[in-house]
Amino acid sequence: MTLPEAAARIPAGAEARTVRVTLPPGDPGAPPHRHPGPLYGYVTEGEILFELEGEAPRVLKAGDALFEPGGDVIHYQGANNLPDAQSQLVVTMFAPPGTPVLTVVSPEELAERRHLRVAD
């Protein structure tokens, strides 16, 4: 996956963080959240139900890649789409040192931005 415009989204002084995320069967993943900078990911096992603000939910299977711009965009879903097997992905994110990997979005903000969600 090549996204030359993504480099402009990397915060000044950012560090790269690589994380392996393993989801048990049927796990809903993290609640709606944001990442402090862009990230690239690769599904290594199973299937992930993936949804970003402004995009329709889609199922990513082992071998599929993903990109999130980070910043203001809400990551709604990153769930294990399989009820009977674990799923796993590896992501590399770019963020200012010391920032959290993700920040959960409040119910109030979700309501305010509902019009930006394709799934609703």
Tokens linked to 104: 């959960």
pLDDT tens digits for range 11-23 = 788 899 999 999 9
pLDDT at 11: 77
What distance in Å separates the CA atoms of residue 90 and residue 27, rounded to the nearest whole number? 16
3-state secondary structure string across the chain:
CCCHHHHHHCCCCCEEEEEEEEECCCCCCCCCEECCCCEEEEEEECEEEEEECCCCCEEEECCCEEEECCCCCCEEEEEECCCCCCEEEEEEEEECCCCCCCEECCHHHHHHCHHHCCCC
> What is the tens place of the pLDDT at every residue in 31-48?
999 999 999 999 999 999
Q: Record the tokens describing residue 111, joined without a space.
A: 């309501």
Instruction: Provide the percentage of residues in the chain whose pLDDT is more than 90.
Output: 84
